[in-house]
Structure 1
Amino acid sequence: MSSATPTAGTSPARRLSLAGVLRLRRPSEIWFKPALSSVAAVAPPNLLLLALGRLDLAMYTMAGSLCALYAHNRPYAARARTLAWVVLGMLGGVAVALVTASLTRNAVVLVTVGALLAAVQKALCDATRVGPPGNVVLTFISSAALFVPQTLGQVPGHLALAAAAGAWAWLVGMAPAPVRPHGPERRATAQA
């Protein structure tokens, strides 16, 4: 009899180890920059809302503020364009979500619109190679906005809050440019 014959205790299929999947890789050299930028972009608008007693509007400012997570690995000219497109993409997704939420409460319609938004956001982020965090934040925010009850009359004000916070996030993302105008290029050269 051949020794290659599987026995009751072994399987002919190779077992895959989870160690490779769960192994932590070396973090990015700039891992802290998106984190600090998001704190700097989120805190002022939300603290202002807190002071005004309108923390119920924080979801809309968060939509714009979280755009500060993007484009930290790009030179400043490319970062400016990328951040602008991310803010516009966020506003577009939130606009579709808010209008849909104001027109229907049907869960099937809301989930369908959410799936379509996620697909479009994924395709656009992949096509433009926007980089981390990709479509995840856009999809998370627009999906959440689908389930916030409101009227059509409230949508422009909510979008204005998101746009103002998005403009603030753009400024936060571009803030290091005057101090270190070639910082991203230097980091890329040092890593090469």
Structure 2
Amino acid sequence: MPFRFIPQTIPEVILVEARAFPDERGFFMETFKQSEFGRGGIRRNFVQDNFSYSHKGAVRGLHYQMNPSAQGKLVACLKGEIYDVAVDIRKGSPTYGQWVSAILSAENRRMLWIPEGFAHGFQALSEGVMVWYKVTAEYSPQTERGIRWDDPALGINWPLAQEALLSPKDVILPTLAELTEADNNFVYEVMA
């Protein structure tokens, strides 16, 4: 099997390890295979791919899109290294307001699956970081929302907090406690 799927402390978030096949030319690896991902618990259709370039210290997030345009994300770092974070914002969830993180890098070739109902963000830990991610819904500016990256109630341990570079839009995001019904329509559903 070319993939290993590792549920995190919030089990809906899954770390994906892809197997590489090296030879004298370099290596080859599959980054997505619908049948394998389905067996690994990720049964989604991806409709858009995104790519970003970031300088060291840059924080992108914590972002999400509300229903009906909620996005699940499969995130990979193609160059450099990132500290990737997912925050559970599903009202009624036993892990509401909790977060998980993973180091994703070109070297470790790991990916992180972040389902709908989670805010997502990352910090570039090296210079010239390139991040690629697949999403389950197209970008929708009308449903785009976010949470402050440094929300004290979340207590995320950003590795380069003192070097954080933020967009003007991300600087003014609300905390999780400040979100209104118009900002968060996710509700936890118990799976049978």
Q: TM-score, normalised by structure 2?
A: 0.24
Look at both structures and tell me which one has the larger radius of gyration over its CA atoms. Answer: 1
Structure number with greater CO (CA < 8 Å, separation at least 6) is 1
Higher strand residue share: 2
Higher helix residue share: 1
Q: TM-score, normalised by structure 1?
A: 0.24
